[in-house]
Chains A and B, each alone.
Chain A
Amino acid sequence: MSKHSKMATLSNEVRLVLSSHLAFYYRHPWLLALFISGLSLGSALLTAIAGLNQEAQSRFEASAALLTEPVTYLIKPLTGKQYIDGEVWLELRRSGITQAQPVLRGTVKTEQGRSLSIQGVNTLLWLKAVNASDSQPQTQQFTEEWSFLRLLVDEQFASRIVSDDGQSIPLSLPVGYRQPEIRLTSDIGLWALTDLATADYLLGANGQLSFIELSAFTDKQADQINLIVAGKAQLVEAANRNFTVLSEAFFFNLSALALLGYIVAAFLSFNAIKLTLSSRKTLLQQMHLLGCSKQGIRLALIIELISVSLFTAIIGALCGYLIANALVLDLNRTLVGLYQFDKTLVIVWQWSKVALGFALNLSALTVIMVSQTPLVQQYRRWAFYSCLAVSLGAGIWLLNEAATDYQALLLCLCILMLFVLIVPSILRFTVTLPLTFSNPLAQWLHADSRFHLKDLHIAIVAMVVALGSAISMQIMVNSFAVTLDRHLETQLSADIYLRTDTHNADLRKALSSQSDVALVSIYQQSEGYIDSIPATLESYGDDNKHYQHISLTSGGKVGTSHFAQQGCLANEQAAIKYGLQQQNLVSFVQNDQQFNCRISGFFYDYGNPGIRLLTREGTHNDSHLNQVFIGYSIRLANSSSLDRFSERLVNEFKQDSTQIYPNERFKRYASILFNDTFVVTRLLNGFILAVALASLGTSLLSLSAGQLKQLSILHNLGVSRRQLLVMKLTQTTLIILLTIALTLPLGLALGIALLKFVMPIAFGWTIHFNPDIQALILTCLTLLAVAALCAYLPIRKLTRRVNAK
């Protein structure tokens, strides 16, 4: 046969086989839906998180001054200073460095007292950037009628600046100042946009700048820039900014969760694929008998594999896009709260995510298909023991040695792997228990469970993995919430917090001398770096009594010895995440100033990704570091009334009422911030749980579909519907109870691994183990409810079939 005719025969065969496969899917739409939905959901989760992460990074690195080139360097104010002298920019221009653009940021208040963050940029550059891009049609319309006194505000902040009747709310400006024209638009973000001169006018910045963005420049220009900024500002590499360093753990955590979701979803698909393959076995055998070559059948399977991978990747990316958009608000709140991320995330369609999903799906499907080949089946035992040995060995090693994010996560993966490997063995052992029943129905139930459990074990493994992960997440989130609550209770022990940006010694003295005041502490901080890691140095007062709300990891109280001999306290993160040890001498660097101290102890500190040092007020003041004064914390005498003292602060001490925060309000803000941190985690967790429940439901229903014939026989032989229902309920309940029994140890093991390894290594926080018993019970009850439904549905189907006859 010629090569051409061989190809024609093969292509004909492949077409024939493919059309048979299509016909199979046409007749089994649910199997196809299960197959597709499993892979799509998995890749959706991964692509959603990957998309959010990439978007956050690129948004953070995007130019605030709307430079068309990527920002490579920033000229920032000296640490501890808020502004750069505008002269720096003029000097840069004079030196021929034109790829530098100034940005001025600040906050203005409306007459209703609401804050609005504004950002001034070079308008001409902005107009050029908008005109060059057709992707912002809404903003383009404003370029046509641009005025220098116009303020573009994102629609999401409309309520701050526009009243219900559509009128602009005036800004609180000095007498005689002109009000800017307010225009609402989309995708502007947190910072309302205006011309640099207008921002200067509104903020009263007197020619000062917040930062200058720089795009590509030569080495010679770099030397020039360093000379110009020396002592006035600092040149910072854009890639090394705090956000990337600090948010890494957060996105790592989400990515790990998404990967877990993919594993669960792949299990869901594995079940569907196995069903599809076993259902098609006869079909493939028949095709082979009728003369189709193995090559043709294999080729058709490969084409199907690629098509399904691509199709599910596109659906997954589409779902991922929707999920990312649904999560973007919560994520944004977290990024703003934890990492001072100042831009609105806008999720755009990314083809690279389709490619990622395609690659993942193809790999997962290939692994599943290959695992079903006779050759692999032949070495299954060998592979099982190898995997078991590797997982066990690696798990034990990591238990003692895990020191990085990836190693901590690998430990979780080892625990998961161990369970994946041993669960089928436990199931096999359970069903081979030599139980004897004289009741024929119990006998059938036992034999049938044994018979079908091998079909169900993939679903049970998927459930164990998904539920175990979900339970561990519940444990982690609850433990964190409980720990945080206790921490806030001691940390925020003052009754009133008074915010003010200047230290007024007279006010402090006057407040301290009041009979209804027990203690007045201050809160001042300096920003800087310890070995290039973002750090803050803080002080609350000169006496030990100002530091008694600090919880030391040693369990003791803060005493004189902690601050003696250049002593300072460091947060737990410094020890766990950044490897500092007690008695270490550290150098806190701010611009060209250096503050050296000896770490005398560590304290618990949640929510701060960087290093925090505590020292005495006097030592802090003597350090010559730039400081920011945050305010006072006031503890009242036992008999004093909070409301009455707040009133006195306003009337007698002439303090702004909006700057007085009672303890409860402060705690609420702190709790909201931390709850936001875990909103995305909770949502993803819920999603994984939903996928797992879908997996369980479909597996139990597919088991029931296979059982329908057997149930009909039992019915024909005189078993009543009630008895059938009781039997099915008993069977599914036992399966679920067995699943729960296997899930709880996994959930606990993973929860402990997350609390003892992942959280401390990734975030630097020690969290005490606190399982959420209520949520655990609720999860188990949900499972039982799904099981009951899955038991009832086939009986209903059988009844309908009988009635239809």
Chain B
Amino acid sequence: MIAVNNLCFSREDGGHSHTILDQLNLTVPVAEQVALLGDSGSGKTTLLHLLAGLLRADSGSIMVNNHELTRCDEHQLSLYRRKIGLVFQHYQLLECLTVRQNILFQHRLNAPAQSADDFAHLVGTLGLEDKLSALPHQLSGGEQQRVGIARALLHNPQLVLADEPTGNLDLKRSHQVVKLLTTLCRERNINLIMVTHSHQLAEYFDNVKTLKDGNLE
């Protein structure tokens, strides 16, 4: 369950304060999947980064599964981030680690001793069985994104935040990736919030929100 109340965020730009989010309110029930639409610069990525604890709000509150993010310190935010799943447009894979190590990274960060029961299933579902020993630069864009998805889901997060995960992929692969992501999240009752520009891709989601001028329409 996510509850965002009166969220404000502004950015200093050339000595002027530029409001990005203005008194934004959002509620996402447990396991709901939300697509965030909006023009470039409307504040979609900012909202996602605020939900991920990568940015700090000027005012307002963000409750994620009973965690008040705006009151967390840096260390608590780090601990929070390792519990959720993050999928990025540019994949953000660790270039020196193999696919297997990348997928297991966050899981091991959370529970070093625990074996990843879901690993084989997830890797199989995502079609990465043959790529486990490869390094990220040896994979195609679609494959790298699937590694990102596997990494985001393996540790069973309650929330996955995806920032335009199909931004670098063609339409066909974009549909494959989003379908896969939403299906896997639905199977695991995971909240999914995904930023996208595509109305077509937004159709895979339970709910579609559009950001305009710093607020939801």
**A interface, CB within 8 angstroms of B:** 438-441, 443-444, 447-448, 450-452, 710, 713-723, 802, 805
Contact = CB atoms under 8 A, between A and B. Distances in A.
Contact of A448 (B55, B93, B96): B96
B109 A441 contact: yes
Contact of A443 (B49, B88, B93, B101): B101
B106 A718 contact: yes
Contacts, number: 75
A548 to B, nearest CB: 70
A718 B79 CA distance: 6
B176 interface: no
Contacts of B113: 438
B108 A438 contact: yes
Contacts of B52: 716
A448 B102 CA distance: 13
Interface in B82-113: 82-83, 86, 88, 92-97, 101, 104-106, 108-109, 112-113
B109 A719 contact: yes
Contacts of A444: 94, 96-97, 101, 105
B78 A715 contact: yes
Nearest to A451: B96
The 3 closest A-B pairs by CB, nearest first: A718-B82, A451-B96, A718-B81
B54 A802 contact: yes
Given A440-B104, A443-B101, A718-B82, 19 more contacts: A438-B112, A439-B108, A440-B105, A440-B106, A441-B109, A443-B97, A443-B105, A444-B101, A447-B94, A710-B96, A714-B94, A716-B54, A716-B81, A717-B105, A719-B109, A720-B74, A720-B78, A720-B79, A723-B78
A452 B55 CA distance: 30
B204 interface: no
B92 A713 contact: yes
A669 B42 CA distance: 81
A718 B109 contact: yes
Interface string B66-81: 0000000011001111
A717 B54 CA distance: 10
B96 A450 contact: yes
Nearest to A440: B108
B108 A713 contact: no
Given A717-B86, A719-B109, A710 B95 contact: yes
B83 A718 contact: yes
Contacts of B75: 720, 722
Contacts of A718: 78-83, 106, 109
Contacts of A447: 94, 96-97, 101
Contacts of A717: 81-82, 86, 105-106, 109
B64 to A, nearest CB: 14
A716 B101 CA distance: 17
B109 A713 contact: no
Contacts of B112: 438-440
A572 B81 CA distance: 74
Nearest to A447: B96
Nearest to B54: A716
A805 B109 contact: no
A438 B111 CA distance: 11
Contacts of A438: 108, 112-113
Contacts of A441: 109
Contacts of A805: 49, 54-55
14 contacts: A439-B108, A440-B109, A441-B109, A443-B101, A447-B96, A450-B96, A451-B95, A710-B96, A713-B92, A713-B93, A717-B86, A718-B80, A718-B83, A723-B78
A713 B94 contact: yes
B17 to A, nearest CB: 15
